[in-house]
Each structure stands twice: as C-alpha cells, then as structure tokens.
Amino acid sequence: MLLAYGGGSIKKNGIYDTILEQFSKAGLAFAELSGIQPNPRIESVEEGIKLYRENGCDFILAVGGGSTLDACKAIAAGVKYDGPASDLFVNESGVSPIVAAAPLATILTMAGTGSELDMGAVITVGEDHKKKVVMHPLLNPRFSILDPEYTYTVPEHHSMAGVADILCHLMEQYFTPDANAKVQDRMNEGVMKVVLEDAPKILANPKDYDARANIMWASSMALAGFQFVLGKPMFPFPLHGMGHELSSKYDMTHGVTLALLTPAWMRHTMSAAPEHLPVFARFARNVLDIREEDDAKAAEDGVKKLRAFYSAIKMPANLREAGVKEEDLEVMAEKAVENGNLGILTSIGKDEALQIMRAAF
Ligand code: NZQ
Ligand code: ZN
C-alpha cells in the first residue's frame, strides 16, 4: 500500500496516528509519500510512482484535500503506464491516453474540489506551471471516507476557498443554454442554497458538525458524474480555465481564483449574450432569493448579492487586492485559451478573457 499525504496537517490533527493504528491492527505494510503541495506538481507524481514500484505496492490511500487526491490519481495511472507521467494528460481533443490504473481510495480532510467522488485530477507541470487535466473513469476512487470532523482543523482561508470552489462547480454546470433540464437545475439550485447558508456557519464555528457535513457532501455532489450537466452540452468550464492561469502564475489558491473571476464573468456574459439573461435571472431568484420581475435587474442584483457573499466569506475583493500585477493579465488571458476557446453561453477567446480579467482587476 502507498499512503500519501500533503504538508503534514494530518500529523498535527491526529488523522495520521488513527490510520497507522488501523494499519497496524490489520497487519498492513505500507510506504509513505509526503509533502504533496497545494496545486500539486508532477514531481510529486513521479516520486509516488517510483515509491509504489520500489515497494511492490498494490493499492494507494490518499489522505488530504484535492491536491493530495489528484496527485494520487495521477500516480494510480502512472504506475500502470510504461512512459513518463507527462504523457498522461488529456489531449487537446479531450482524449485520455489512460488504459489502466492501480486501485485508489481516499480519506478526505477538506471539502471543495469533489475529487473524492470524481474521475479527474489537475496537475501542475513545466516551467510555466501549467495546470493540466488527468481524467479517466478508472481513476474514480474505490471508496472515499468522508468524516466531517476531519475538516474541523482546515484553516479558515482554505475552508472558504473550498466553499467558493464548490459553488463554482455548481455554477459552471448551471450557466448553460436553457435545455429545460429541470431536475438537474432544481437539484443544483438546492445544493447551491445549502452552500450559501452553511458556509457562514463554519466561519462562525469551525466545529459546527452539521455545517461541515453539509459542505462536505455538497463538495462530493457538485461534480459527481457531472450529474448537473447531464443532458446539456459538455464544454470547457470557462471560470476554471481562466482561474487555473492565476494559480499557475501566482500559485493562488484554486477556490480564490474562481471567486475573483465569477462576478466579472457573469457581467461579461450577460452583456455579450443578453439572450441568456433569463438563466442569470433565474439563478438570482431561485438561489439568491432576489424578488425582482425584470430579468436584467434581477440578474444584476444577483451578481451584487453573490459578490457580497464572497466578501462575507473573506475572499479578496479583486485581482489587485489578491496581488495580481496588471501587466500579467494579457499573458494569462492568452494562456487560458491556448487549447481553444472557453465557455458555452459565449465563446471566450483571448480578448474576452482579457476583458473579464481586467473587469475583475
Ligand atoms: O498539505 P496539508 O498539510 O495537508 O495542508 C492542506 C493545504 O495546505 C490544508 N488542509 C487540508 N486538510 C486539512 C488542512 N489543514 C488542516 N486540517 C485539515 N483537515 O489545506 C491546504 C489546501 O489543500 P489542497 O488539497 O490544496 O486544497 P483543495 O482541496 O482545495 O485542492 C485544490 C486542488 O484541487 C484541484 C485544484 O486545481 C487544486 O490543484 N482541483 C481538482 C478537481 C478535481 N480533481 O476534480 C476539480 C477542481 O476544480 C480543482 O481544479
Ligand atoms: Zn474547481
């Protein structure tokens, strides 16, 4: 077995000791991969592949947040692949080269990415720290243990960034051309409402079991099988495409990048594609309880209320406040679309990405 974890939070909060106790009771031998960083690097994946092979492992247990889980998914694919780990990414046409993977299970210690219940991973690679996707159904964890108490010690910044990530996964699937996918959309709205309601409870009391449990389950539900986008066209998530560039350039926390860009992206889309205003108005009414009959006004009130939520959960107000330099925007906009335009309500190329980033600045 390969036991993998991040920078050591599991040693401070006792989860590591609990696991080792169980391993000892079960007589399980294991090798350890530690030090997986947020925005995990391909070097950790390579180290994990080597350790797995050298120690004759047959199973991977990932303990941590999305970064550890993602690195382990790439390791699971890498140990069954006879070539460099950098070959494992999904190509420009969305095709995955993966044909086999080692079995993987997870113990989730922070809510946000949904990696515990999905088949994807995001790995940082190369000198420009590009974030690339590894994806295959074989990478779905065999099981994931979700104990809300394990998330009590997550620092406030990361707890709230996780909330922003969950919300964005739900929004990326919601803001699609209206396909009359009522079940998907009403379920999605319900989960979004829970996230908005319970995030402030965690801020007030990090040991609020019910709030931690609801946010943790929302994290898993948000991306599970892309259930909220079923029946709708699949497309590159625009906010994630742009947000990853902020992480590449500044090593910024994933969820924070999304909170920073979302209001600007909403306003851009509402103005570039006014035919989709009803979707934004419906979001404002059904999720944010805006009572306004005019679609354009309701949609704008929705953006304002969402911004107020981000500020209540202590996300930075704009890119400048988050430490971004204006002169970097153009390169980031270019890189965000280097594998093709993003989005579906509007097509986002370099110019549009730059407009959105400038508006978020
Ligand atoms: O490394 P340790 O010491 O464990 O500390 C971590 C890290 O510093 C800490 N932490 C986690 N659980 C803790 C804790 N600290 C105290 N107590 C606990 N119980 O939190 C920090 C952040 O951890 P990280 O794993 O980086 O956070 P997150 O879960 O937000 O993962 C982010 C990564 O996931 C990718 C992102 O791009 C980013 O690289 N994503 C993965 C997705 C997927 N697989 O489907 C989808 C997402 O959209 C996202 O792109
Ligand atoms: Zn995300």
Ligand number, closest to the Cα atom of 108: 1
Looking at residue 319, its amino acid is L
Please name the residue whose Cα sits nearest to atom 18 of ligand 1: 154
Looking at residue 261, its amino acid is L
Q: For ligand 1, say whether the CB of 141 is within 6 Å of any of its atoms.
A: no
Position 234 scores a pLDDT of 78
Q: For ligand 1, say whether the CB of 150 is within 6 Å of any of its atoms.
A: yes
Position 179 scores a pLDDT of 79
Q: For ligand 1, say whether the CB of 173 is within 6 Å of any of its atoms.
A: no
Which atom number of ligand 1 is nearest to the Cα of residue 114?
A: 45
Q: For ligand 1, say whether the CB of 8 is within 6 Å of any of its atoms.
A: yes
Please name the residue whose Cα sits nearest to atom 38 of ligand 1: 39
Ranges of the chain with pLDDT below 70: none
* Structure token digits, residue 151: 């998330």
Q: For ligand 1, say whether the CB of 148 is within 6 Å of any of its atoms.
A: no
Cα–Cα distance between 107 and 15 in angstroms, integer?
9
Which atom number of ligand 1 is nearest to the Cα of residue 118?
A: 45
From the CB of residue 299, how many other CB atoms can be counted at a distance below 10 Å?
26
* Structure token digits, residue 114: 């949904």
Tell me the CA–centroid distance for residue 294 and ligand 2, in Å: 31
- In angstroms, the Cα distances linking 24 to 16, 20, 30, 210 are 12, 6, 10, 32
Q: What is the pLDDT of residues 52-83, one digit of tens each?
A: 999 999 999 999 999 999 999 999 999 999 99
User: Which of these, 193, 224, 210, lies nearest to 114 by C-alpha position?
Assistant: 224
Q: Where are the beta strands (DSSP E) in the chain?
A: 2-5, 31-33, 60-64, 104-108, 120-125, 130-135, 144-146
Which atom number of ligand 1 is nearest to the Cα of residue 124?
A: 39
pTM over 0.85: yes
Cβ-in-10-Å burial (0-12, 13-18, 19+) of 308 comes to exposed
Q: For ligand 1, say whether the CB of 223 is within 6 Å of any of its atoms.
A: yes
Tell me the CA–centroid distance for residue 65 and ligand 1, in Å: 4
Which residues, including other chains, have CB under 8 Å from residue 26's CB and lie 6 or more apart?
A: none
Q: What is the pLDDT of residues 211-262, one digit of tens each?
A: 999 999 999 999 998 899 998 887 889 999 999 999 999 999 999 999 999 9
Position 90 scores a pLDDT of 93
Position 233 scores a pLDDT of 83
Cα–Cα distance between 28 and 51 in angstroms, integer?
16
User: Which of these, 48, 134, 127, lies nearest to 87 by C-alpha position?
Assistant: 134
Tell me the CA–centroid distance for residue 50 and ligand 2, in Å: 28
- Tell me the HSE value of 20 on the side-chain side, using a 13 A CA sphere: 9
User: Which of these, 9, 125, 140, lies nearest to 69 by C-alpha position?
Assistant: 140
Tell me the CA–centroid distance for residue 307 and ligand 2, in Å: 18
Q: For ligand 1, say whether the CB of 65 is within 6 Å of any of its atoms.
A: yes
